[in-house]
Amino acid sequence: MAETILDAAHAAMQADVNDDAARLHFYEKLVGSELFLLLESEPEDDQITPHVFDLTDESFVLIFDREDRLTQFTGITSPYAALSGRTVFQLLAPQGLGVGFNLDVAPSSILLPAEAVDWLANMEIAPDEISQKVEKFNAPKGLPEAFLSALDTRLAAATGLADLAYLVAADYANGSNGHLLGFVNARPDAHAALTQTVAQALVFSGLEAGTIDVGFFDAANPAAAKLAKCGLRFDLPQPQVTTRSAPGSDPEKPPILR
């Protein structure tokens, strides 16, 4: 069975338990990936019922990074919900549930207690949405590769929330300067989610104290053309047209646990 991205990230984390960057990298990949949550029964509309395993001190649900790994664990075709890791942890944290990831089916097998699930669900270090007037955009420079990789992973999971984004260096009218991530044609109801996505990229790349400003621009805004001239471009995936929405496909309407 081919190694997955999460297998590789887990192996790097296990190779040096004192390497904080490797540990954060694994969690960043886990939160940003599509995961398969084992259910008790088939989803009904927007309601899902995870299969809960009660152990002596704590209860756990099971998630896998591939559908065939879930089937390998259960031995039969089983109901599941395909959700982003972020959605999974945000759903489970209020329930006080732990998570078993790839248990017994992959080298990346790991058991995460409820406190770890809560931590992953509540990354609330948010960047600032810009209010200062920007005098000039420049090409970004000096940003760690770990942050760029984390940002790319997080934006790749932000399906349909914006058309694209540009990362630039910015000179502001008040004399300050910094870096700005400008989203183009973002959904108005997705601004908070996109801002939090940038915050999580900072945290998972080990830059909790760092800041990246966030701005939102219409494609017709002249600033969008200026961003395109010097910015590092990130294309956000767009949803495919389907006749039926899967549970969790709308970030503003996550599935309901029963």
pLDDT for 257 equals: 66
Residue 45 falls inside a structural domain: yes
Residues of the chain scoring pLDDT < 50: 125-126, 209, 243
Do residues 94 and 19 share a domain? yes
Domain count, the chain: 2
Residue 244 falls inside a structural domain: no
Do residues 151 and 114 share a domain? no
Do residues 99 and 198 share a domain? no
Do residues 16 and 84 share a domain? yes
Looking up residue 114, the CATH number of its domain turns out to be: 3.40.1350.90
pLDDT for 52 equals: 93
Q: What are phi and psi of 91, to 5 degrees?
A: -70, -40
pLDDT for 125 equals: 47
Do residues 118 and 139 share a domain? no
Residue 188 falls inside a structural domain: yes
Looking up residue 179, the CATH number of its domain turns out to be: 3.30.70
Residue 72 falls inside a structural domain: yes
Do residues 149 and 171 share a domain? yes
Give the domain range for residue 156.
134-235
Do residues 100 and 147 share a domain? no
Do residues 110 and 138 share a domain? no
pLDDT for 258 equals: 62
pLDDT for 62 equals: 96
- The token pair at 141 is 């420079």
Residue 252 falls inside a structural domain: no
Residue 240 falls inside a structural domain: no
pLDDT for 127 equals: 52
pTM: 0.57
For residues 186 and 157, is the Cβ–Cβ distance under 8 A? no
Per-residue pLDDT tens digits for 165-212: 999 999 988 788 889 999 999 998 888 888 888 887 877 776 654 578
Do residues 115 and 187 share a domain? no
Do residues 164 and 118 share a domain? no
The C-alpha atoms of residue 38 and residue 45 are separated, in whole angstroms, by: 17
Residue 249 falls inside a structural domain: no
Could you give the C-alpha distances from 190 to 113, 196, 210, 211, in angstroms and in order? 30, 10, 23, 20
For residues 11 and 108, is the Cβ–Cβ distance under 8 A? yes
- The token pair at 7 is 């297998």
Do residues 114 and 47 share a domain? yes
Q: Which amino acid is at 241?
A: V
For residues 37 and 81, is the Cβ–Cβ distance under 8 A? yes
pLDDT for 119 equals: 87
3-class DSSP state for residue 165? strand
Do residues 26 and 102 share a domain? yes
Residue 223 falls inside a structural domain: yes
